[in-house]
Amino acid sequence: MSAFIHDEAGNVYHTYSDYARGGEEILTTLMILDRAPKGRNETSTLSFVKRHDEYEDASQAQSCCA
């Protein structure tokens, strides 16, 4: 994430940069997950994010209550 500002003369100034995982403070979902018991439960960066076609079939998924 980067932030810029411009003055009245039209000059643009680069005021802030954040790289890799530093911008998570503005993503409230990640802040909540970080406080959960298992956190994000990730094996690599953002590995917990799944697209709708990447989930296991319900018949193959393990039950949490079995």
- The pLDDT of residue 53 is above 60: yes
Bridge partners (DSSP) of residue 4 are 14
d(CA 1, CA 23): 7
Residue showing tokens 């003055």: 7
pLDDT at residue 9 in the model? 94
**pLDDT score, position 13:** 94
pLDDT band at 10, cuts 50/70/90?
Answer: very high
- Percentage, residues of the chain above pLDDT 90: 17
